Structure formats: structure tokens, C-alpha cells
């Protein structure tokens, strides 16, 4: 409940998110032309219509698909996430891509409202509410050449620079199209993935896929930030939707013009699969781990004092004259004050895909950074981290992508329409 209340609060500044809906009962939703819980479509004449009981808020929470920005950016990350990249099939160009984005948008709009799209007989998400499902679509650099839209490719889609710590797998990097799915229920998320993948079949082929997770709603009473698999509170210094400069940091201005004017209201997503070297990390004492990060593990408070939300005092010294936040502490090197105010919204999922040949866990962070301009967000911060971050010894960046995520669409439109038909 605490988490849900927080979601509403965090979303308060995105006007459309104040329309966050709780689909309380099947009959109430039915009156609006929908049937909650995925009971419509192929299953419309069946017993679920008579379902007497209400979903809890976990299942019934719905985030609107339509709006000035796409969902899945300013909303808190859900308990389950899928990241997918597709490459257009040989011969599929701008027209086929437009048709695909139209199909995808219609499906995403239906699913996020708790409807079953026409003709869906999978039944995977039957009984469940939309469970805060979001679906977010983006375009990779390669998309523009393949669709004859090179002239409208944003300058911000220049390839990311190489970092010395990178060990990137090209097969799990980049891609023409990117889809981010998030939901608080695993079957709701999987259902969306299956339908979108099948709709792509003749037009685009799955290039890579990654599955991630966050805390289950109600598993913790910690109201704000998540923990990652290193046990560290993560995301404390994220811009907040209630900040006056939140939109300026995260979204391309709504009046953005020029060849890439279609990106008005959009954002750029930097996606990094960051494996954590947990065997090494967990050998460190608690005190050493905390010095590497610069925050206490228990509550996320900076080692310069206070609580999690206390501003970090980078100048503070200890009685012995040493810096409270070490010179190579992660939060010092990553701090906006160390990077000309650069900022991005990090909205991550943890991942865990088993173990590697040497027994080490194949686990870490599906890092997703959102910003109005990657050259003023991820790139300068990562350049600095690459050189001086004490944490980088315990991380491997194994995959990378940069995607242009257009603004949201209104009902009857589809995501990317201004690019593909403009």
C-alpha cells in the first residue's frame, strides 16, 4: 500500500497520470465498455463476466497508454520488466514499420486498460487486472537508414562513445526497434510480450530480450527507492516528477522543431545490461562496501551524515582529516555537482539469468536512463565513472543501446506516427 501511494505521488506531475485508474469491479469497468481482468474478446461470453469480487489495487491499478509522454518513463518501475529489441525484416520499410507501430499501439492501449485485444485466444492474463502494465516504444539509430528516414534521425542518436570498462556483446546491443514492458504481475507482462512478438512476426525479428524484476508491491514498507542486487539503496538522487526541472531533464520540449521535431515530448533511453561481480563484492566488509558507494547500506544515508534524502556533503571531512565521501566513491563521481549538473532519470530492473560457467551469478542491473539529451545526461556521467568510480571494479557493462522514444500519442493515433507519416 505504501508503494502504491508513492506511485501516485511520484506521478503527480505528469498530468495524464493523475488519471491513474483503479478498475474496481468487472461491472464498473464493463459499463465503460471494457471488462476488467482480461475477460473480453475471445472470452467475452464466459463466466468471468459474472465475477462477483473486486481485484485488489495491485491488479486493478491501470496507467493510461495515451498522453503527451509515453508511459513507463516517469512511472515507478514495476515488479516485472521485459526489454525487447527487434530488427526490421529484409524488405520491411517505412510502411511496414508504420503498420507495426499502429498494431502495437492498439494492442498496448487495450492491454493497459485491462482489455483483451480482438482475436487473442492465449488467455495468459485472464483473471488479472492490468497490474500497472506499461508498454513503451523506441527507435534505434539503425531504424532510420532502413526506413529511408535518415534525414529525420536526431543528432542525439549518435553512437555512444566507447568506455574502457565496456565488454559489450553486439548481439545483445542496439536494434532497430525497442520495446519496454513493465507490470506488477508476471503473467500480465508475459502476455503483453507474447502478443507484441507475434504481431511483429512478418515485419520484425526479435534481436534480443532481457527480463528483469523489482520488489513485489507490499513486500517492503520502504516508501521511496529500490534496492539492487548489491543490497544498495539505488535511485535516491533521481529527479522527482515534482521537481520544477523534471520535464526539462527527462523530456524533449513539447515545442521542439526541426528535422527531428517528431521527438517533441519524447525522451532518450540509454539501456545497459550491467552485470554485478557479486562474488567479489560480497567478499568486502560492510564498511568497505559503504565506502565504495558513499552511502550506508541500511538506509541509504550518505556517509556525510543525515538520512537518505539529506544532500550529500562532498566536502565533509572526518576527525582524522579524510573525506567522509571518499575520492572514488560512486556517489561523488556520479554526483551532478561533479558533472556540470548533468542529470538523468534512472529507472532500472534487476536481472538474474542463472549462473556462468565459473559458477558466478549472471545477475545485475538492467540500467535504463531517461534524459532529454544523452550528451548532457548519461554520456558525461559515464565518462567520469569510467575513469574514477571505485564501484566500476565490481561491474561489467555487457550490452548497450540508445533509443529515441517519441512522445505519447492520443487515442486513435499510434506511437511514432509523426515520424512515420510526417
Q: Is 219 in the site for a copy of itself (CB under 8 A)?
A: yes
Q: What is the DSSP string of 55-104?
A: PPHHHHEE--S-SSS-SSSSSPP-SEEEEEEEEEPTT--HHHHHHHHHHH
Q: Is 5 in the site for a copy of itself (CB under 8 A)?
A: no
Query: Smallest distance from the beta carbon of 310 to a copy of itself, in angstroms?
Result: 12
Query: Smallest distance from the beta carbon of 287 to a copy of itself, in angstroms?
Result: 9
By CB under 8 A, the residues from 137 to 156 that bind a copy of itself are: none
Q: Is 384 in the site for a copy of itself (CB under 8 A)?
A: no
Q: Is 320 in the site for a copy of itself (CB under 8 A)?
A: no
Residue 184 known to be catalytic: no
Q: Quote the CA–CA distance of 299 and 310 in Å, as a whole number.
A: 12
Residues in CB range of 225: below 8 A, 6 or more apart: 233, 234, 235, 236, 238, 300, 308
Element (H, E) at 418: helix 417-420
Q: Is 43 in the site for a copy of itself (CB under 8 A)?
A: yes
92-100, 194-202, 260-268, 337-345 -> range binding a copy of itself (CB under 8 A)? 194-202
Q: Which of 65, 137, 178, 190 binds a copy of itself (CB under 8 A)?
A: 190
Query: Smallest distance from the beta carbon of 223 to a copy of itself, in angstroms?
Result: 8
Q: Which of 186, 264, 277, 323 binds a copy of itself (CB under 8 A)?
A: 186
Q: Which of 30, 231, 336, 380 binds a copy of itself (CB under 8 A)?
A: 231
Q: Is 53 in the site for a copy of itself (CB under 8 A)?
A: yes
Q: Assign 419 to helix, strand or coil.
A: helix
Q: Is 88 in the site for a copy of itself (CB under 8 A)?
A: no
Which residue's CB is nearer to a copy of itself, number 94 or number 215? 215
What does DSSP assign to residue 117?
P
CA dihedral sign, ordered 172, 178, 184, 189: negative
Q: Quote the CA–CA distance of 210 and 272 in Å, as a whole number.
A: 11
Which among 176, 234, 260, 389 is annotated as catalytic? Answer: 234
Q: Quote the CA–CA distance of 94 and 81 in Å, as a whole number.
A: 28
Residues in CB range of 76: below 8 A, 6 or more apart: 3, 6, 7, 10, 11, 347
Residues that contact a copy of itself, how many (by CB under 8 A): 77
Q: Which of 21, 94, 103, 194 binds a copy of itself (CB under 8 A)?
A: 194
By CB under 8 A, the residues from 244 to 303 that bind a copy of itself are: 278, 282, 284-286, 289, 296-299, 301
Q: Quote the CA–CA distance of 268 and 234 in Å, as a whole number.
A: 21
**CA nearest 350: which of 199, 204, 216?**
216
CA dihedral sign, ordered 240, 242, 248, 251: positive
Q: Is 34 in the site for a copy of itself (CB under 8 A)?
A: no
By CB under 8 A, the residues from 89 to 128 that bind a copy of itself are: 121-124, 126-128
Return the active site residues: 234
Amino acid at each position: 500500500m505504501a508503494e502504491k501511494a508513492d506511485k501516485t505521488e511520484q506521478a503527480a506531475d505528469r498530468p495524464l497520470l493523475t488519471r491513474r485508474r483503479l478498475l474496481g469491479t468487472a461491472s464498473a469497468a464493463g459499463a465503460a465498455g471494457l471488462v476488467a481482468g482480461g475477460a473480453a474478446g475471445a472470452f467475452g461470453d464466459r463466466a468471468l463476466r459474472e465475477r462477483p469480487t473486486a481485484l485488489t489495487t495491485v491488479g486493478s491499478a491501470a496507467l493510461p497508454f495515451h498522453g503527451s509522454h509515453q508511459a513507463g518513463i516517469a512511472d515507478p518501475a514495476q515488479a516485472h520488466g521485459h526489454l525487447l529489441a527487434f530488427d526490421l525484416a529484409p524488405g520491411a520499410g517505412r510502411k511496414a514499420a508504420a503498420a507495426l507501430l499502429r498494431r502495437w499501439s492498439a494492442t498496448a492501449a487495450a492491454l493497459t486498460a485491462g482489455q483483451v485485444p480482438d482475436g487473442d485466444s492465449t488467455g495468459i492474463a485472464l483473471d488479472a487486472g492490468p497490474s500497472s502494465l506499461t508498454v513503451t516504444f523506441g527507435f534505434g539509430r539503425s531504424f532510420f537508414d532502413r526506413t529511408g528516414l535518415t534525414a529525420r534521425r536526431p543528432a542525439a542518436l549518435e553512437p555512444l562513445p566507447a568506455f574502457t570498462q565496456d565488454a559489450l556483446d553486439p548481439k545483445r546491443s542496439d536494434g532497430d526497434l525497442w520495446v519496454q514492458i513493465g507490470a506488477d504481475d508476471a503473467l500480465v507482462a508475459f502476455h503483453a510480450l507474447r502478443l507484441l512478438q507475434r504481431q511483429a512476426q512478418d515485419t520484425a525479428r526479435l534481436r534480443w530480450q532481457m527480463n528483469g524484476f523489482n520488489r513485489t508491491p507490499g513486500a517492503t514498507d520502504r516508501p521511496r527507492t529500490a534496492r539492487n542486487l548489491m543490497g544498495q539503496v539505488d535511485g535516491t538522487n533521481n529527479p522527482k516528477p515534482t521537481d520544477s526541472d523534471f520535464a526539462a531533464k527527462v523530456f524533449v520540449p513539447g515545442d521542439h522543431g526541426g528535422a527531428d521535431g517528431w521527438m517533441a515530448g519524447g525522451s532518450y533511453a540509454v539501456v545497459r545490461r550491467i552485470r554485478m561481480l557479486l562474488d567479489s563484492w560480497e567478499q568486502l566488509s560492510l564498511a568497505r562496501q559503504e565506502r565504495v558507494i558513499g552511502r550506508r547500506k541500511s538506509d541509504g544515508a550518505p556517509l556525510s551524515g543525515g538520512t537518505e534524502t539529506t544532500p550529500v556533503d562532498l566536502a565533509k571531512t572526518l576527525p582524522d582529516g579524510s573525506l567522509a565521501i571518499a575520492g572514488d566513491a560512486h556517489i561523488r563521481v556520479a554526483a551532478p555537482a561533479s558533472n556540470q549538473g548533468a542529470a538523468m532519470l534512472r529507472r532500472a530492473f534487476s536481472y538474474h539469468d542463472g549462473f556462468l560457467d565459473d559458477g558466478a551469478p549472471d545477475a545485475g542491473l538492467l540500467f535504463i536512463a531517461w534524459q532529454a539529451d544523452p550528451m548532457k545526461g548519461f554520456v558525461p556521467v559515464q565518462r567520469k565513472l569510467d575513469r574514477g568510480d571505485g564501484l566500476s571494479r565490481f561491474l561489467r557493462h555487457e550490452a548497450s543501446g540508445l533509443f529515441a522514444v517519441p512522445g505519447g500519442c492520443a487515442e486513435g493515433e499510434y506511437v511514432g506516427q509523426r515520424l512515420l507519416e510526417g
